Structure 1
């Protein structure tokens, strides 16, 4: 904790240390101070900092700018700190920064705390306490909050603090009236009216204060002025509170109690949740719509939508209670039961009847026609300031007669559906809670110490609850009811996907029931698209994918892509599915996915076969398009129209985008007890080999092919086992594991048993390659000669080219450059003649190495540049890395270290991303040498 430092936000953003003021620098540096000072002692993540300062369009250098701002602030805030001494005030951690300062040293936080305390004192009639707190709070201001500070956070905070200041001044005036000191309230209230001419509450308080002073005529003048201003600026009449104050003035009353003898009005809002957590950004947005800071009329229609259990109702009730003072003519509430299992949703006429009776209309006078009842309701609302909360709407049809209220009335709707209700509708989609908000929910229910004692397990519990407040409340309640349970005890139970939804039940609260209500509404709908969407949800639960496209959904449904897309979009509207950032992709959150699996059809063979067949056909086509000369593993024929790709770049892009799903689908299928589905899983696994090889991703390659090998051996599929051994060997070789040779030897035995001479020569070539890489050049020479003889004997041109390349590589290693060049040139000519750019790029790389060894860096650079271009086009990441390192060597050998810089600059981060210790070491070593020659320190990645 830095002693003596205070931060001031209630005016220009400044700081002081031991009474001496500090220049915080540029407006954006001040913005950073404001963001960190808003939550002292807590880490603010970098992404939130960037979003708070720059909003939706940050510059590419935003993160670097934040580092610069932090460095500058540390210098001015802690000038005595040593160069290597860590900052005690502005500390880094957990991907962000925190201001290590007590909240009592930030004026905005002190102000907020004092106003909250005053509000509580006012509610219990402690008017002296109100004045004490508010005189201190209001005295902290010295100008407009965050003066001149840019960015979304500053704008929102400025609005919040300005509105809170106005509320504080209103509370103070109410306290003065409560202490029977109306004369002292007159001047502050007149000042408030000048600054906020459209706010009615200060005008009402001034009228009451004048009445208390025995000046009813002046009170009427205030009313007339209010009416003139409101009509001119808003086209509205004064609200009910001002009209009541006018009636008191006309009657010559003295306003014996605050509010002047108000008649009973509907106050139907449910109690605010004491355990409500987070939603700060949403609350700021909603307050701006429902209680504009300038006193303007509220937005007429606000919809809060989101998935089941995300906390829509809790947020609506919270915001309703926060702004209810701006609606003095009443607050109406109804639960429309749009997603209540076992109960029908309320009819619009029924709702109108309830609201009309609450507004004083006799039951016999309520029309039986919905349009007439809606017209009567609008008439009762005319000229009033009323808040209407329609909770849990099933859809637009249920609320349509209720949403066209007169100006001054605000209608807030919560719904699981996305509602499009015209130009006057603002729709706020409620996301899941963040990690910190979720932990706070659990801490409030089960105890903060219990959560803090096991932070990793608590974070795991949050992930398993999917950030849904409903699930978190249930989990917290279960822990609270079982004080002997550790957090890990519940986490372990939830990790079992078969019982997770069962575990997330407590009393009448259940995640499954909440999701079932949304699904049942679709399944029981009269609309075909709703029923198709319900069916699609169950089918999406069959495949455990990261995301899904309309084409995959179409395969599962056995429908056309357009029809499937409409079903997916309907699920999005119902908040059972979400759009991914990539266009055309959809995602199920974990709890919805588990529910979807429960809704899946009993016989899943046909839809899974269609989906797997589409993936296999598409992966095969993409890999062939990427490099048509590579040998593909044989597999079953599939009946599916593949995804179309226009060329190698499109093919690689599609494979990269779908890889996670392809791997997941292959692994799931190979685990199936259904033999044909398992074989399709193997086929999908094998179809990915060349992409994974070029992308240099040994992890998934090894995992999938170990599974494939076990399955093929169990099924007696020797040809499948042959391919799995070869793929495994390749992945293990990428990781530098000696086990890779064992799989090649096993593959060679299988090729002999199968009598497959093509496969035998292919394995010999791979043995030669691994021997070359290990420096066993004599062994490599022997394997390559045997491959060459076999390949020529059976007319396998691809094998001949590969054997010549391996002979050249072995001769290079044995110090026979002329012989190496002869073999390599023959391999290159053969590859170029047939258009095999994949093999040509490997030959060119070896030729480049040969030229470097012979002291001809110019020739080496020529070969390597061609190899680099070809490796980039094939997406061969290791090949790109090798070319970059060797090109740097070539330029360095020509005494041009400056030209080598771009190559090592690209090579080192690429090497860090690949699992290849040999070439990572080579890249880092090359960087050190190049940087040493040009006088630039090496950069660690």
Structure 2
């Protein structure tokens, strides 16, 4: 293979180097990666030296392209880019691109009725053809490219002949059609055109003989009869009239009407149009799939895009509903689909082979040289569509399915998710009117979210509102808020979310495959849990089956798009699917799975709490029998709590609302396990709401221990929020502890009340409670209680100006914490000591103590913000204005993010006291 650049002949070198050049030339101006070059030359089994060989061939091509380029001069024609290599040529400098462009221009002119222009374009295109393309050049890419270019040449010759016949010039195309028919005896279109050319030249007998020869060849080789085009040409010849030189072919236009209310999906539309209507005149991708959960709008998107690209497929668009997702209706068999498709392109009923393989062969034969779009809607699985997606290049098969079909050959799959809030609102505006929707945008957004952004649910909601013009949007929103009735409300006429979901579940439940049955059963169990997402471990606890079996079932549900894999080992279920799934289980079947799942969450949360903060005392009530997750260290446990907190909260609230007492008690165990983590993370609102639910559950169960712990939990949240009702719950905690004879909780309640009095600057009361805590804690050997008491005593004595007493308590407590390895308490003692030193005027020492503590203080937001405030104060008093301003600003930002009015007030005070950022200067 040779080439020419700027008039100079280029020797492309050995065959493999020619293959590299061909790939770069076909994609002129675009980047071709090293992996693509290797695959294009050697296929799936490249030699170990493939990459090095490519580098050698690239160097050879550069020498051929630019023989005079200096060694240090960068290449101008064949450039290296971050992604691979690019041949810096205009596509118009490559014959294959020019040829394809001329053929495409001729097709446009022909569609516009300008046959003379079409002939001119083809007259310029066909002389570019000089023998077999890429002759002798090896590799899969060149094999495919040869086939593509040859098919394009045949299409061009046929198009030129058709245009000449329509212009009444049959003699001008006769010889070329005779050559084409001899070279491709099973290709019907050239013989059809040749019959018409012979007829136009007055040679009817030869035309009729050609028809009989063609019928015999097709019967012997394919077991098929002549197609509609040949039969129509036969009728023209038999009529003996001039008639139309070329009979108008049957052009199928079977697409359903595009939806007037179609909105959004801009990114998906661009992607699909790029595949089906490539900008560079490449053939459309042969097999494109839109998959996703029931009701997400797969069919609507497919129809919309098919209408948008139909001009790219001038020989028609076929549509078949495969019934793979239609409830109580059998899906179409392969033979039924072949029959519909073949009839769609003009094949008579009696000409459709009974044998499926013969029908497939006839289908492929009739697609040769055609540009058809085939939309196969609602495919049940890959097996149902596999026979139809091996069409010749030029035909595109667009498939929608609830299943993943990505395993198919040459499949490009687009997974469709719910509409965004903006898209859903726009859809509702089209359905019920913009004025009605804009009257309450808040309710409209809520309605969209209750519909999960699923177009089917939105269409039903829109239909219900349109049918009730007196309803505000909020009226329907209120009805959908009740989860027990939501699926029932989302029904309008024959449209129903429930039946759409039932079809997908029914396909699994009715399958003979074991994995499908496992998946169907698991979906019902997943509907019992009202959590944002679920891991394999949690699903295993829920089902009671082996982990490997559960993971396979979860993945099968993802393939069926009834679940969504958010990351490896973690899955999410949409609300509408969850509501449907929850109704699959009988009431008596739900208790044991829920006990297992909630117990797993409780045991795991308790283990994580103990592992992440081993120096704290953790509530071990109520008893949890299930096994949970185990953790290798504090960081792993903390990270797990951070990630799982939304799931644990949802599980806790669901469990505590359950009527089964054991499930409710396990829910309280989850809540108690989160106590220390939520303080460290400063989850004030969650502490309060969880504390309120814990307290209510304890009272409902008439369980004094849960009630006591609920008061303590709620008091913590109220303390951080700055709510004075904290005193009431602190006193109730103390009262119940004494009533139960629980000395540990008695001293704990004294400690919490002491801190509460400090916050409201009631220092005498605080000191009384702190000393009471220390006395009880010391007597029962509770190091944790004694440490907390010493810390509070130190803080109170600072407030009272008794600094020597404060430092004594703080030093004693710090030594105890150091011996115990309690890092958090060490930081808290250091911060209090730093503050005492500031008050004593020992600023340099205070700054040193606080600086050393600043790293460990990041363990929790409360210690971090306190450290920043005291550092700002120490820097300010030392005259270090810039540092004071910096630390003060950091403290303000952190306090604002925490939502802590207490610390925000102190941080702002320090920042403002620092004044303009300046340092004192001594002379």
TM over 0.5, yes or no?
yes
Q: Tell me, yes or no, if structure 1 residue 505 matches structure 2 residue 408.
A: no
Matched, 1:594 2:575: no
| 2:105 counterpart residue number | 202
* 1:248 corresponding residue in structure 2: 166
**Which residue, out of 677, 692, 699, partners 2:663?**
677
Instruction: Provide Cα deviations, 1:102-125, integer angstroms capped at 9, x if missing partner.
Output: xxxxxxxxxxxxxxxxxxxxxxxx
- The equivalences for 1:181-200 within 5 A come to 197-198=100-101, 200=103
Cα shift at 1:586: 1.4
3-state DSSP of counterpart to 2:917: helix
Match of 2:123 in 1: 221
Q: Does 1:238 align with 2:155?
A: yes
* Residue aligned with 2:290, SS: strand
Aligned to 2:340: 354
Q: Report the Cα distance in structure 2 between the residues aligned to 1:259 and 1:924, rounded to whole angstroms.
A: 91
Deviation per CA, 1:625-644: give whole Å up to 9, x if none: 12112121231332333223
Q: What are the residue-to-residue correspondences of 1:158-197 with 2, within 5 Å?
A: 197=100
Q: Which residue of 1 aligns with 2:139?
A: none
C-alpha distance in structure 1 between counterparts of 2:861 and 2:111, whole Å: 78
Residue 388 in structure 1 maps to residue 305 in structure 2: no
Q: Is the 8 A contact 2:99 2:125 kept in 1?
A: no
C-alpha displacement at 1:364, in angstroms? 3.5
1:503-540 deviations in Å (ceiling 9; x for gaps): 11111111111111111111111222221111111111
| Deviation at residue 601 of structure 1 after TM alignment | 4.0
Say if 1:537 and 1:205 are closer, same or farther in 2 by CA, change over 3 A: closer
Alignment of 1:636-715 (within 5 A): 636-715=622-701
Give the structure 2 partner of residue 878 of structure 1.
862
**Following the alignment from structure 1 to structure 2, what is the Cα–Cα distance between the partners of residues 226 and 520?**
58
Decide whether the 8 Å contact of 1:219 with 1:246 is kept in 2.
no
Number of the residue aligned with 2:917: 933
Partner Cα separation in structure 1 for residue 132 and residue 497 of structure 2? 48
User: Does residue 895 of structure 2 align to residue 895 of structure 1?
Assistant: no
Which stretch has the larger CA shift, 231-240 or 922-931? 231-240
Residue 907 (structure 2) aligns with: 923
**Which structure 2 residues correspond to residues 338-353 of structure 1 after superposition, within 5 A?**
338-353=324-339
| Structure-2 change in CA distance of 1:418 and 1:457 (3 Å) | same
Q: C-alpha displacement at 1:222, in angstroms?
A: 5.2
Residues 242, 390 of structure 1: alpha-carbon distance in 2 compared, 3 angstrom cutoff: farther
State the 1:302 CA deviation.
Answer: 0.6
Q: How does 1:258-297 map to 2 (within 5 A)?
A: 262-297=248-283
Partner of 2:843: 857
Describe the shift of the 1:251–1:660 C-alpha distance in structure 2 as closer, same or farther (beyond 3 A). same
- State the alpha-carbon separation in 1 of the partners of residues 113 and 436 from structure 2: 56
Secondary structure in structure 2 of the residue aligned to 1:720: helix
Using the TM superposition, give the Cα deviation of residue 194 of structure 1 relative to its aligned residue in structure 2, in angstroms.
10
Post-superposition shift, 1:293?
Answer: 2.0
Q: How much does 1:647 deviate?
A: 1.9
Identify the residue that residue 65 of structure 2 maps to in structure 1: none
Q: Is the partner of 1:567 in helix, strand or coil? A: helix
| CA deviations over 1:139-198 (Å, ceiling 9, x no partner) | xxxxxxxxxxxxxxxxxxxxxxxxxxxxxxxxxxxxxxxxxxxxxxxxxxxxxx998952
* Partner Cα separation in structure 1 for residue 463 and residue 120 of structure 2: 57
Over 3 Å counting, the alpha-carbon distance change for 1:681 and 1:204 in structure 2 is: closer
Aligned 8 A contact 1:525 1:531 in 2: yes
3-state SS of 2:668 partner: helix
Pairwise CA distance, 1:409: 0.8
Q: What SS does the corresponding residue of 2:855 show, helix, strand or coil? A: helix
Q: What does residue range 539-578 of structure 1 map to in structure 2 within 5 Å?
A: 539-578=525-564
The superposition leaves residues 815-858 of structure 1 with CA deviations (integer Å, 9 ceiling, x where unpaired) of 11011101111111111112222322221111111111111222
**CA deviation vs aligned residue, 1:615-634 (integer Å, no higher than 9, x gap):** 11111111111211212123
Matches within 5 A, 1:450-529: 450-529=436-515
Which has the larger displacement, 903-912 or 686-695?
Answer: 903-912
Contact (CA 8 Å) 1:309, 1:514: kept in 2 or not?
A: yes
1:827 has 2:813 as partner: yes
Cα pair 1:207 1:222 within 8 Å, conserved? no
The 1:646/1:205 distance shift into structure 2, 3 A limit, reads closer
Q: Give, in whole Å, the separation in 2 of the partners of 1:834 and 1:611.
A: 36
Cα distance 1:490–1:257, how it changes in 2: closer, same or farther (>3 A)?
A: farther
Cα gap change, 1:867 to 1:503, in 2 (>3 Å): same
Q: CA deviation at 1:227?
A: 7.5
Residue 423 of structure 1: how far off its partner (Å): 5.1
Judge conservation of contact 2:289–2:412 (CA < 8 Å) in 1: yes
Task: Measure the CA separation in 2 of the matches of 1:624 and 1:210.
Answer: 81
Asked if structure 2 preserves the Cα contact closer than 8 Å seen for 1:744 and 1:766, the reply is: yes
The 10-residue stretch of structure 1 (802-811 or 606-615) with the greater mean CA deviation from structure 2 = 802-811
4+ long deviations beyond 4 Å:
193-197, 205-213, 215-220, 225-233, 239-243, 252-261
Aligned alpha-carbon RMSD (Å)? 2.8
Q: Is the 8 A contact 1:577 1:586 kept in 2?
A: yes
Change (3 A) 1:351 1:848: same
Give unpaired runs (5+ residues) of structure 1. 1-192, 936-941
Residue equivalent to 1:158: none
Q: TM-score of the superposition, structure 2-length normalised?
A: 0.76
1:210–1:218 CA contact under 8 A, matched in 2: no
Query: What SS class does the counterpart of residue 235 from structure 1 fall into?
Result: helix
- C-alpha separation between the residues in 2 aligned to 1:454 and 1:216? 57
1:197-249 CA deviation, whole Å, 9 max, x = no partner?
Answer: 52645314556999877x99868735745888997883322166555324324
Q: CA deviation at 1:927?
A: 3.0
Question: Counterpart in 1 of 2:427?
Answer: 441
By how many angstroms is 1:866 displaced?
Answer: 4.2
TM-score by length of 1: 0.75
CA distance 1:728–1:207, shift in 2 (3 Å): closer
**Shift in Å, 1:549:** 0.8
User: Could you tell me whether the CA contact under 8 Å between 1:208 and 1:219 is conserved in 2?
Assistant: no
Alignment partners' CA distance in 2, 1:927 and 1:235: 78
Per the alignment, do residues 360 and 817 of structure 1 end up closer, same or farther by CA in structure 2, a change over 3 Å counting? same
Aligned match of 1:842 in 804, 820, 828? 828
Distance 2:560 2:386 in 1: 18
Residue 898 of structure 1 and its aligned partner are, at CA, apart by 3.1
Cα distance, 1:278–1:714 mapped onto 2, change above 3 Å:
closer
Distance in 2 (alpha carbons) for counterparts of 1:194 and 1:720: 78
For residues 651 and 645 of structure 1, what CA distance do their matches in structure 2 show? 6
In structure 1, distance between residues paired with 2:260 and 2:313? 22
- Does the CA-based 8 Å contact 2:603-2:626 persist in structure 1? yes
On the 8 A contact 1:234/1:297 being kept in 2, the answer is no
Paired residues in the alignment total: 739
C-alpha distance 713-866 of structure 1, shift in aligned 2 (>3 A) = farther
Aligned with 2:854 (options 857, 868, 873): 868
